[in-house]
Structure 1
Amino acid sequence: MSKKVKFSSTSNSAFYATTRFRVSQFFSEQEVNQHANSHMWFKTAFFLTGFVGLYLLMLINILPPLVLLPMAAGLGMFSAFVGFNVCHDAIHGALSGNCKVNKAFGLIFNLIGANPYVWSIIHNVVHHTYTNIPGHDEDIEVAPGLIRISHDDEINAIQRFQHWYAFPLYSLASLSWIFRKDYVKFFQKEIGSHQNKHPKVEYFNLFFYKALYYFLFIVLPLMVLSVNWWQFIIGFLVLHIAQGLTMGLVFQLAHVVEGTTFPLPNEHSQMCEAWAEHQMRTTANFATQNKFAAFFLGGLNRQIEHHLFPKVCHIHYGQISLIVKQTASEFNLPYIENQTFFDALKSHFLTLKKFSREVTPA
């Protein structure tokens, strides 16, 4: 059992208190609701329409396999975008002020292959609390033993090449999710230091919605599409490679780049800083001025704001980022950001390469 990590008292964090006050003041003075606005609901409709539209267009069985293949890749990417823009906010309770609306949109997560209940534990509870703490933050453990991202990770000779094979591994993330990860995490005794004690209904939900996903994306296509079994397998793999690579890259570029840290607690399981200060040292933004990234990535390119204010809809991150950045400067805290997506990609590659160099050849 992992010993629970404790942070310095949040009440002692003048930075966090000041930032929260200023952000709250912003919403009050601007008379802006912290949840979804009309633009956010347009995005929700856009991504859900694209996801459902591509799925149905493929199932009507009038398109040749060579056209279905790029559509499968597009469906995979739209699956990731639905997760980023709709489900992520909903499961955090940020999409709407109505918990029933959030729950309804959170259920859509099942249709992209992931269990929203398991995700809420791994991501909302564990990752957001213990960000980048080795052995506690399972969100950054993409492939334990294969990917090494901190000095405290176990060493394996193959990691000498991790900066080359990491990206193909990321593309398998979605396949792992639908066939393995949710089951493994659900039946673990603990995730990080979080004890798994599930309501009985969640056992039913796990298997029911997994079965529904397998029917909609495996059984039904095989029943209605005029393709050979091997053509279906290729299309299914292309869908999930596109989905997995999109998800994997976005999440990794927010925490595993140059400048972010992977701090460990002391012998008493105590972190040396308060939680908010910890977030500023372990989280990074990227491509914040890119309108394409702002629309498609669901605010995940503004992870600093997301980690400090997870219950604020991502549509507002651009505005409150000015407050967060200024306040961080006043308190002499880092505000880590890469100007473009490719800057962040390069930084992630160099981080992987850095830790690969510490591996002694077998």
Structure 2
Amino acid sequence: MSPKVKFINTQQSGFFSTVRSRVDAYLKEKGVSKYANQAMWRKTIFYLTLSLGIYLLILSGRFGVWTMFGLSLLLGICCALIGFNIGHDAIHGSFSASRKVNKALSFTFNLIGASPYVWSLTHNIVHHTYTNIPGHDEDIEVAPGLIRLHPDDKLNKVQRFQHLYAFGLYSLSSLSWVLRKDYVKFFQKKIGQHPTLNHPRREYFNLFFYKAIYYFLFMVLPLLVLQITWWQFVIGFVGMHLAEGLVMGLVFQLAHVVEGTDFPLPNEKGNMEEAWADHQMRTTANFATRSRLAGFLLGGLNQQIEHHLFPKVCHIHYPAISGIVRQTAQEFGLPYIENPTFFKALQSHYRMLKKFGLHACQLQQIQRRPEAYKATAGKQKSLTFK
């Protein structure tokens, strides 16, 4: 069993205290609350109204087959955007100063088929604490054995082709989340190395009750009210989740598995020999931060650096504080990893998939024929990921 990971500030880094005081001073000077503003509320109403409208249009059954399929794909995308823009902030407690408001808005996760409680464990606690640490951050354990996202991941000979099939597997993430992932995470003994044995009793009820509501709304009710065959329903339902899953998979991976990000390991005592905030700067990346469209669609997930440092600040404020974070990082000699556009980030992730796949192939060759590798070691390509 791996020892519990602890961050040791061996260099007495003052980065986080400095950047936090500067951000607090900025918000105070501008008279701005760290919670949602009017623009955030307008965006929330927009996404909820749009998704409900599309759902009701589908249930009306007044459209042709291809239009219905297109609406299903659009609904899947909207569900992902609800998670990004509303549920994510609410579960972090950054949407409102009111716990009741955050609790109510976190309910939107149930409406897209995900458990807000399980997400709070896997994301708020584990991912935000142990970002990109193999064996601890399960966000970089995607389809183990098939997709290799860090140097210490499992090896499989098919991974040399993962840059060709990974995006297809990403599309399955929403289906897995709705039908499998929440149950597995809830009942496994630990997530990463974080023990998860003492769930509140009400969460057992909530998991099954809200999953049942989702299955009724998105599986039973359409079959009851629409004049469609079972296979037409399956195509629409799966298509909706493939669209949702692809959007989720791409956005999540572009923040942590791109060129420049680290995958550090703790020492034998379980210590990370740097400050937690410094670690976040080395393992997290931004993309498309100057795009208003990306900011509107992605709920601040394109500004993961600011989000990881300030998860209790509503994402609507990230563009305003990003300059402070960047400048402070430069002063302390820390990286500020950023891809200028979504497509640049996508290309960077693709290259990482290709590199990790090649690395897996090389390691397997070494394991099979160590003597042959030693004889040609000078001709081998570097296996480093810097």
Q: Same fold (TM over 0.5)?
A: yes
1:336 counterpart residue number: 337
List alignment gaps of at least 5 residues for structure 2: 366-386
Deviations 1:26-66 (A, max 9, x none): 01100000000000000000111111111111112212221
2:368 counterpart residue number: none
1:151 Cα deviation (Å)?
1.6
Q: Which amino acid aligns with 2:91?
A: I
Q: Which amino acid aligns with 2:137?
A: D
What SS does structure 2 have at the residue aligned with 1:359? helix
| Alpha-carbon distance between aligned partners in 2 of 1:345 and 1:136, rounded to the nearest angstrom | 25
2:80 counterpart residue number: 80
1:346 counterpart residue number: 347
CA contact under 8 A between 1:287 and 1:339: conserved in structure 2? yes
In the TM superposition, what are the counterparts of 1:34-113 in structure 2 within 5 Å? Answer: 34-113=34-113
What SS does structure 2 have at the residue aligned with 1:315? helix
What SS does structure 2 have at the residue aligned with 1:285? strand
Aligned length: 362
CA contact under 8 A between 2:258 and 2:348: conserved in structure 1? yes
In the TM superposition, what are the counterparts of 1:1-362 in structure 2 within 5 Å? Answer: 1-9=1-9, 12-196=12-196, 197-360=198-361
| Alpha-carbon distance between aligned partners in 2 of 1:142 and 1:317, rounded to the nearest angstrom | 28
Identity %: 64
| Alpha-carbon distance between aligned partners in 2 of 1:235 and 1:11, rounded to the nearest angstrom | 55
Q: Which amino acid aligns with 2:237?
A: F
Q: Which amino acid aligns with 2:81?
A: F
| Alpha-carbon distance between aligned partners in 2 of 1:253 and 1:31, rounded to the nearest angstrom | 33
| Alpha-carbon distance between aligned partners in 1 of 2:37 and 2:228, rounded to the nearest angstrom | 43
TM-score by length of 2: 0.92
| Alpha-carbon distance between aligned partners in 1 of 2:174 and 2:38, rounded to the nearest angstrom | 31
Q: Which amino acid aligns with 1:307?
A: H
Q: Which amino acid aligns with 2:355?
A: K
Q: Which has more radius of gyration?
A: 2
1:342 Cα deviation (Å)?
0.4
| Alpha-carbon distance between aligned partners in 2 of 1:88 and 1:12, rounded to the nearest angstrom | 32
Residues 351 and 19 (structure 1 numbering): CA distance in 2 closer, same or farther, change over 3 Å?
same
1:20 Cα deviation (Å)?
0.2
CA contact under 8 A between 2:10 and 2:273: conserved in structure 1? no
CA contact under 8 A between 2:160 and 2:357: conserved in structure 1? yes
CA contact under 8 A between 2:2 and 2:270: conserved in structure 1? no
Deviations 1:87-125 (A, max 9, x none): 000000000000110000001101101100000000000
List alignment gaps of at least 5 residues for structure 1: none
CA contact under 8 A between 1:13 and 1:276: conserved in structure 2? no
CA RMSD of aligned residues (A): 1.2
| Alpha-carbon distance between aligned partners in 1 of 2:100 and 2:66, rounded to the nearest angstrom | 41
Residues 188 and 10 (structure 1 numbering): CA distance in 2 closer, same or farther, change over 3 Å?
farther
CA contact under 8 A between 2:59 and 2:222: conserved in structure 1? yes
TM-score by length of 1: 0.98
Moved over 4 A (4+): none
CA contact under 8 A between 1:149 and 1:256: conserved in structure 2? yes
CA contact under 8 A between 1:10 and 1:275: conserved in structure 2? no
Q: Which amino acid aligns with 1:325?
A: R
| Alpha-carbon distance between aligned partners in 2 of 1:358 and 1:63, rounded to the nearest angstrom | 50
Residues 11 and 23 (structure 1 numbering): CA distance in 2 closer, same or farther, change over 3 Å?
farther
CA contact under 8 A between 2:175 and 2:241: conserved in structure 1? yes
1:227 Cα deviation (Å)?
1.2
What SS does structure 2 have at the residue aligned with 1:357? helix
Q: Which amino acid aligns with 1:51?
A: S
| Alpha-carbon distance between aligned partners in 2 of 1:124 and 1:9, rounded to the nearest angstrom | 22
1:9 Cα deviation (Å)?
4.3
